[in-house]
A and B are shown apart, each in its own frame.
With several copies, the nearest count.
Chain A
Amino acid sequence: MHYLSDGFKAAFTILLSGQEETFNAIFTTLKVSTFSILLTLAAGIPLGFILGYYSFPGKHACRAISDTLMAIPTVVVGLLIYAFISRSGPFGGLGLLFTLRGVAIGQFFLGLPVVVSLTASATEQMEDSTRLTLMTLGASPGQLAASSLWEGRYAVVAAAMTAYSRIISEVGVSMMIGGNIKWRTRTITTAIALETGKGQFAEGIALGIVLLSIAFIVNGAVSVARKRAAS
């Protein structure tokens, strides 16, 4: 129990005293997760729409794969990416291991199935009359996609936020690919893992609170934007 109160106290101390290490981890987390989510949305929303909207052979298989990949443990994604970008792997020459770019690639694969599956299910749930309305107004396939997603914007935003949550809270990829190297690739979650591993639970909780504060601010910004878009 005392971890809780200690954790809250520690969280304030960290944020107020301006511990350089922690700010570095916060900054790293923001940088890599922003990059990852943008990549994920750019690829995932169109893919999800195609998967939910069009009928093509193998559609159900694709959907099943995407749904299943939502359940891939982050460390397994870490391992798989590692197999490719390790020096002894096929892309070893790119020098992605222990870099934030490497982490972003892994997080992209973590977020992608979430965005694809949730966007596809939002698209599936779209009323047929919305589709027909857009078609009768002369929308091209691209406009149809964009406008359908706009009609279902709540669900798309929810998909994005869910994916962002998965990305910002994951530790498997950041640890395996990033390596939790201090000042370089240490993110809040790997720092939490480190503190917890050291038995410094209060510090772990404090960092968790810091992470949640970031998520809270991001969510707040998104819902302000959403409210603005709705009106």
Chain B
Amino acid sequence: EVLRMATTTSTDNTGLLDYLAPEFLKDTGIELQWVSVGTGKALELGKNLDVDVLLVHAPEVEKQYVQDGFGVNRRQVMYNDFIIIGPPSDPAKIKGKTVKEAFISIATKGAPFASRGDKSGTHVLELDLWERFGYGQPEKENWYIQTGQGMLDTINIAAEKVGYTLTDRGTFIKYEDNYKGNPPLVILVEGDEALFNQYSVIAVNPVRGDHLRYDLALKFSDWMRSDKVQKMIGEFSLLGKPLFVPNAK
């Protein structure tokens, strides 16, 4: 039996799914096939009934999605956190500051800031932060670089421009790993409440298509939230650094 899932690139790129899928097969006899795309595209694939289950991280959008009847059974499974990274020289002097101070400092100093600009979970959060700090989205500012690309590409662009960006920790660890632990950008702001990144599993609403494997989707959802898997998620690490924090409810 095959369960099809659409997920965001972060879960795939970090290798989490390669770590979990064989275990899922062993436990349930279900083969997990996933396509890793942007959050928006993942949701759209679900809307079109091309996948049975979603693993995504954009809580506000997800809630709306469920409300609109596209998905059911949204369950939180884990989170990681966002961090602000930048060059070690830190021209905007944000190291150790709060997110709010950091954003304001970057904006007032006009230090290069790379935004994903792709309506991804990360981007949605970033826009929300600008909003909250009373800035609105900087649009045509010279220092504000809207990449429209994935997280790693955006980090690379920030590095080339010697600027800052907002990233999820998992991708950053992967990035560090690519540079053998000596990356051009380093963590400058972390640990702020505002920087939580919640991942949820959503089953595609089975009333919308007969072929949907809602049963398998629920099995996956339950399996992900089982103690054993939650523990596995907590143990998953890269370069000795844990990537995700399980928080199934």
Tell whether A180 pairs with B160 under 8 Å between CB atoms, given A198-B13, A198-B40.
no
Q: Which residues of B contact A (CB under 8 A)?
A: 4, 9, 12-13, 18, 33-45, 47-50, 117-120, 140, 145-150, 152-153, 155-157, 159-161, 174-175, 178, 209, 211
0/1 string, A180-215, CB within 8 A of B gives 1 = 111110100011011011111100000000000000
B155 CB to nearest chain A CB (Å) = 8
- Determine whether the beta carbon of A182 is less than 8 Å from that of B148: yes
Chain A residues within an 8 Å CB radius of B150 = 197
B145 touches A87 (CB 8 A): no
CA distance A183 to B142 in the complex (A): 10
A173 nearest CB across to chain B (Å): 13
Cβ < 8 Å to B, chain A residues 77-92: 86-89, 92
Task: Compute how far the CA of A207 lies from the CA of B200 in the bound complex, rounded to whole angstroms.
Answer: 32
A interface size (C-beta, 8 A): 26
Whether B41 lies near A198 (C-beta < 8 A) is yes
Complex Cα–Cα for A24 and B217 (A): 28
Interface: A97 (CB within 8 A): yes
B36, B38, B117, B146: the one within 8 Å of A199 (CB): B38
A179 within 8 A of B: yes
Q: How far is the CB of A180 from chain B (nearest CB, A)?
A: 4
Q: Is A175 an interface residue (CB 8 A)?
A: yes
Indicate if the CB atoms of B148 and A191 lie closer than 8 Å: yes
Per the bound structure, the CA–CA distance linking A97 and B48 in Å amounts to: 11
Name which of A86, A175, A197 has the most chain B CB atoms within 10 A of its CB: A197
B160 touches A182 (CB 8 A): no
Do B35 and A196 touch (CB < 8 A)?
no
Shortest CB–CB separation between residue B50 and chain A, in angstroms?
5
Say whether A98 faces chain B, with CB atoms less than 8 Å apart: yes
Taking A181-B35, A197-B13 as contacts, is the C-beta distance between A186 and B43 under 8 angstroms? no
Contact across chains for B34 and A197 when beta carbons are under 8 A apart: no
User: If the complex has contacts A199-B42, A199-B178, are A87 and B160 also in contact, measured as CB distance less than 8 A?
Assistant: yes
On whether the beta carbons of B50 and A182 are closer than 8 Å, the reply is no
For residue B38, which residues in chain A have a CB less than 8 angstroms away from its CB? 197-199
CA distance A180 to B12 in the complex (A): 11
List A contacts of B36 (CB < 8 A): 180, 194
Contacts of A197 in B (CB 8 A): 9, 13, 37-38, 40-41, 118, 120, 148, 150, 152-153
CB pair B157 A181 closer than 8 Å? yes
Is B118 a contact partner of A97 (Cβ separation < 8 A)? no
- Across the interface, do B49 and A88 meet the contact criterion of CB distance under 8 Å? yes
A25 to chain B, nearest CB (A): 10
Partner of A200, one of B45, B159, B160, B178: B178
* A194 close to B117 (CB less than 8 A): yes
Contact indicator A201/B160 (Cβ below 8 Å): no
> Which of A98, A175, A182 is the one whose CB lies under 8 Å from B117?
A182
A147 to B119, CA, bound (A): 54
A200 to B118, CA, bound (A): 11
